[in-house]
Structures are given as structure tokens and as C-alpha cells.
């Protein structure tokens, strides 16, 4: 809170001190933003002092999101005042604590994305994607629902340790020499179709923690209608960003990368209401996991 209070315009900061008194003001300064917004009565008293909406709202945004362009920050300020609960979401208050409709939250996330310039959209996408992997690493078992019984039977004959591989990341199984044999013997001419199904299953599991066959079928249809999407998505330099933590990794092919990310947004329409809710609940911990990993590596 001290960082936010220091950024407030002087008249708004004086209002907070007068409103709370010197002793409570110091207690407030030592409180984290997330803890403050769990106490909605106190948070409401604080926001009453934000008479200078643009500058005070900007102070809150800047306290949490250094590095955004001025236009993006001002857009987020306006959005936050239209949706006050967004203040709380952005500083780590659990989604469940807000009792906010998941469709409204989804629209807010889309509006946040719309406030951002292309490079910021790519960075946010990378932070969510990498953070999901850090917070809850994907294992083959998470995407097991994509295989039919006949496919599992065939794969098990080729992979002697298939059950053990189910508890390993997908890239471990795919990097094994047997993977090529599986592709030829278990899928044959349908190999390309299975690659789409498998990507859809891993994406669904990564976003929601699990997935339904109905949502998977929707993703498969979406990807089938966009044959170049998989290769384009695979070209996104997420791993380079994880290592370098530098947005510059996206700049060489900014237009193409941005197009891929924006084309992928309709994928979320394939999620059921429950899956969309789970995805929303996974975003804040993912962003915290990414930040924590970044801080520990510096």
C-alpha cells in the first residue's frame, strides 16, 4: 500500500490521512493491496478519496504494472472505474472472493487485452502461458482423455513404460524414439488429425486443469478450419521469453506473432461455463508463479 499512497496526488493522499487518521494511515500503508481489497469496507473508504480519478487510478495501475505504455495505463484506469472489482482482481484477490459472474470476468479480461498494444498482448499471453506451466506443470495423464481404448492398447505395446510416462511432461514421451513408431503404427494416415486432437487436449488441460470431450471436439474443429495455426503457434518464442524475460524476443516478427495470438482468442469460446470459470481462477496464480520465478532468477 505504501507504494500506492506515495503515488497518489497530494490532495487524495491528504484525504486518505484525514479519513483514516494518522495511526490507521500508517497501518494502511503497511497493508498489502490484496489484503486491503479483501476488506471491502476499508477499500470502499479508500476509494472515496480518489477524487482525481484518472491520476489516482493511474497510481494504482502503475503500482502494479510498470512498463505499460501511457495509453494502455490510462485505458486500464478507465476500465477499472467501469468495473471496480477489476482493481481487486488485478492485485491478487481470489476470484471466488468477489462473487463476480464469470461471463463478466471474461469480458473484463478481453477488455484488458484490448487496452494493450500488440507487444503488451504478446507479453501478457506469454506470462499466462508460462505461468500456467510453472504453477501446475502439464503431464501426459492430464491429456489422457484424448486417446481411445484402441489407441491406448496400441501405444502400450510400443511403450513398455507407458503408465510411467503418463506422469511425465508430454515432451518427454514425444522425444522418445518410440514416438515415431507410435505415429506410424497406431495412427497411420490419421497422424495429422491426431496431432490436432493432442494439441487441443494439452491446451484444454493447460487452461482448465482437465477437459470435456465436447470442448475438445470444438477445439479440433477450430484448428481444423485453420490449418496454419498450429505451426504458427509453435513458432511463438515463449521459451526464449522465459529465459530472457525480454519483450524484444517478439519484436522481430511482431505482426505475425500478434496475429497468431489474436486469432487464438476465439478458442476460449470452446470452453464450457465451468471450464471458463476454472481458467479464470488459474490466471492469477499463473501470473504470480511467473513473477515469483522471475524474481528468484534475478
Q: Pick the more confident residue, 293 or 197.
A: 197
All three cell numbers of 249, joined, read: 524476443
What mean pLDDT is predicted for residues 193-208? 92
CB 278 within 8 A of CB 286: no
pLDDT at 170 over 70: yes
User: How deeply is 239 buried, as exposed, middle or buried, from its count of CB atoms within 10 A (0-12, 13-18, 19+)?
Assistant: exposed
Rounded CA-CA distance 148/162 in Å is 15
Residue 201: the pLDDT is 93
pLDDT cut 70: percent of the chain above it:
79
**Domain locations along the chain:** 2-116, 135-297
Residue 111: the pLDDT is 87
Residue 280: the pLDDT is 86
pLDDT at 227 over 50: yes
User: How deeply is 228 buried, as exposed, middle or buried, from its count of CB atoms within 10 A (0-12, 13-18, 19+)?
Assistant: exposed
Mean pLDDT lowest among 1-5, 115-119, 264-268 = 1-5
Instruction: Kindly compute the dihedral angle of the four CA atoms of residues 109, 114, 115, 118, in this order, to the nearest 10 degrees.
Output: 120
Residue 63: the pLDDT is 45
Average pLDDT in the chain: 81
**Chain segment 38-54, per-residue pLDDT in tens:** 565 676 677 667 654 44
Q: What is the pTM of this model?
A: 0.75
pLDDT at 33 over 80: no
Q: Pick the more confident residue, 244 or 295.
A: 244
All three cell numbers of 181, joined, read: 513408431
3-state secondary structure 36-67: HHHCHHHHHHHHCCCCCHHHHHHHHHHHHCCC
Residue 17: the pLDDT is 87
CA atoms within 13 A on the CB side of 188: 5
**Local confidence band at 7 (pLDDT 50, 70, 90 cut-offs):** low
Measured in whole angstroms, the distance separating CA 127 from the mean position of its chain's CA atoms is 7
What mean pLDDT is predicted for residues 206-225? 91
Residue 98: the pLDDT is 61
Q: Pick the more confident residue, 280 or 90.
A: 280
pLDDT at 18 over 90: no
Amino acid at each position: 500500500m505504501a507504494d500506492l499512497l506515495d503515488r497518489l496526488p497530494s490532495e487524495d493522499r491528504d484525504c486518505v490521512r484525514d479519513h483514516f487518521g494518522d495511526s490507521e494511515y500508517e497501518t494502511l500503508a503497511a497493508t498489502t493491496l490484496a489484503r486491503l481489497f479483501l476488506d471491502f469496507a476499508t477499500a470502499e473508504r479508500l476509494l472515496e478519496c480518489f477524487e482525481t480519478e484518472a491520476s489516482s487510478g493511474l497510481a494504482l495501475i502503475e503500482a502494479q504494472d510498470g512498463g505499460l505504455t501511457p495509453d494502455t495505463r490510462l485505458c486500464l484506469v478507465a476500465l477499472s472505474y467501469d468495473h471496480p472489482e477489476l482493481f481487486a482482481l488485478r492485485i491478487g484477490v481470489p476470484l471466488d472472493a468477489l462473487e463476480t459472474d464469470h461471463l463478466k470476468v471474461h469480458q473484463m479480461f478481453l477488455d484488458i487485452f484490448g487496452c494493450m498494444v500488440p507487444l503488451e498482448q504478446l507479453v501478457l499471453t506469454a506470462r499466462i502461458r508460462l505461468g500456467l506451466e510453472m504453477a501446475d506443470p502439464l503431464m501426459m495423464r492430464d491429456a489422457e482423455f484424448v486417446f481411445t481404448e484402441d489407441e491406448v492398447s496400441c501405444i502400450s505395446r510400443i511403450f513398455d513404460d507407458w503408465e510411467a510416462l503418463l506422469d511425465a511432461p508430454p515432451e518427454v514421451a514425444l522425444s522418445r524414439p518410440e514416438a515415431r513408431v507410435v505415429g506410424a503404427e497406431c495412427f497411420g494416415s490419421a497422424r495429422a488429425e491426431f496431432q490436432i486432437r493432442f494439441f487441443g487436449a494439452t491446451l484444454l488441460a493447460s487452461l482448465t486443469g482437465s477437459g470435456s470431450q465436447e470442448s475438445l471436439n470444438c477445439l479440433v474443429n477450430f484448428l481444423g478450419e485453420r490449418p496454419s495455426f498450429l505451426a504458427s503457434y509453435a513458432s511463438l518464442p515463449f521459451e526464449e521469453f522465459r529465459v530472457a524475460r525480454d519483450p524484444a524476443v517478439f519484436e522481430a516478427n511482431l505482426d505475425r506473432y500478434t496475429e497468431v495470438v489474436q486469432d487464438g482468442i476465439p478458442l476460449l469460446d470452446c470452453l464450457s461455463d465451468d471450464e471458463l470459470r476454472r481458467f479464470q481462477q488459474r490466471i492469477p496464480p499463473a501470473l504470480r508463479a511467473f513473477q515469483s520465478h522471475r524474481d528468484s532468477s534475478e
